[in-house]
Amino acid sequence: EAGVVQSPRYKIIEKKQPVAFWCNPISGHNTLYWYLQNLGQGPELLIRYENEEAVDDSQLPKDRFSAERLKGVDSTLKIQPAELGDSAVYLCASSPGGRSSYNEQFFGPGTRLTVL
Amino acid sequence: AQTVTQSQPEMSVQEAETVTLSCTYDTSESNYYLFWYKQPPSRQMILVIRQEAYKQQNATENRFSVNFQKAAKSFSLKISDSQLGDTAMYFCAFMKHAGGSEKLVFGKGTKLTVNP
């Protein structure tokens, strides 16, 4: 079974440019997460989707960040315009979802963004 | 809000020896999960071990075991018979039990190096 797929793996852009990251979750997983991992830190949630609905986007900086999961499968995270402080690793994770007692989250390899 | 604290930024251990990584957390929730995740240099986050807060028995997974002290809000990870492949960042994480697909709250991580 394929794991969580993210692309690109690495991205270098100049500040003020736009950038987009793509994530394809494990097949059948209804819940998708985007986490931000700054250097030397643990990941922090940016947004969580249940199918196509964003159920937790309280930590997403909405002035420059946007995300979508139009058909409830793959997802795109966008930054426009990028700032120097956005340099980080962007992790995508997915879990089966539903109201069971526990759903393990499976992580992708991440996209390392460098803003110059 | 929940917080997770890992007080050891870096640790090292000799191959085949035992090492313990520390984690404390703060929460007002009564029902939750605690995790240890491993992130090797390739950056794919992998679940090592999980503990349900309502279970008194400490979780074990092969060479990995935890010491869960609920009253003290402490959750340490013991790695026995350390192997070179255990070299990685280790993150302690918290998730409240509210339907199965909640966000993970991570600590800052401990960099573990296993020396030959």
What is the residue-wise DSSP string for B53-76? Answer: TT--SPPEETTEEEEEETTTTEEE
Length of chain B: 116
- Residue in A with minimal Cα distance to B40: A109
Q: Do A95 and B46 touch (CB under 8 A)?
A: no
A100 and chain B in contact, CB less than 8 A: yes
Pair type for strands A10-13 and A111-115: parallel
Chain A residues with CB under 8 Å of B44 CB are: 3, 107-110
pLDDT of B109 > 60? The answer is yes
Torsion of CA A8, A11, A17, A23, to 10 degrees: 30
- CATH code: domain A5-97+107-115 is 2.60.40.10
A101 and chain B in contact, CB less than 8 A: yes
pLDDT of B83 > 60? The answer is yes
Q: Which of A12, A14, A32, A34 is nearest to A94 (CA)?
A: A32
Spatial CB neighbours of A99, under 8 Å, sequence gap ≥ 6: B99, B100
A76 forms bridges with which residues in the sheet? A22, A68
In tens, the pLDDT along B5-38 reads: 999 999 999 999 999 999 999 999 888 999 999 9
**Which tokens belong to A13?**
């852009």
Q: Which of B35, B13, B2, B29 is nearest to B83 (CA)?
A: B13
Q: Do B93 and A40 touch (CB under 8 A)?
A: no
pLDDT of B56 > 90? The answer is no
Torsion of CA B39, B36, B79, A39, to 10 degrees: 40
Q: Where are chain B's structural domains?
A: 3-115
A10 and chain B in contact, CB less than 8 A: no
Give the whole-number percent of chain B exceeding pLDDT 70: 97
Whole-angstrom distance, CA of residue B66 vs CA of residue B22: 10
**Coil, helix or strand for B85?**
helix
Q: Do A109 and B44 touch (CB under 8 A)?
A: yes
Chain B residues with CB under 8 Å of A110 CB are: 43-44
Task: Please give the radius of gyration of chain B, using alpha carbons only, rounded to the nearest integer.
Answer: 14
Q: Compute φ and ψ for B85, nearest 5 degrees.
A: -70, -5
Q: Tell me the residue type at B91.
A: F
* Homologous superfamily of the B3-115 domain (CATH): Immunoglobulins (2.60.40.10)
Residues 25-84, chain A, touching B (beta carbon < 8 A): 31, 33, 35, 40-45, 48, 50, 56
Nearest 5 degrees, angle CA B17-CA B51-CA B66? 20
Q: Are A82 and A17 in contact (CB under 8 A)?
A: yes
In tens, the pLDDT along A16-41 reads: 999 999 999 999 999 999 999 999 89
Residues (pLDDT < 70) of chain A are 1, 98-101
Q: Are B111 and B89 in contact (CB under 8 A)?
A: yes
Sheet holding A75-79, edge to edge: A5-7, A19-24, A75-79, A65-68
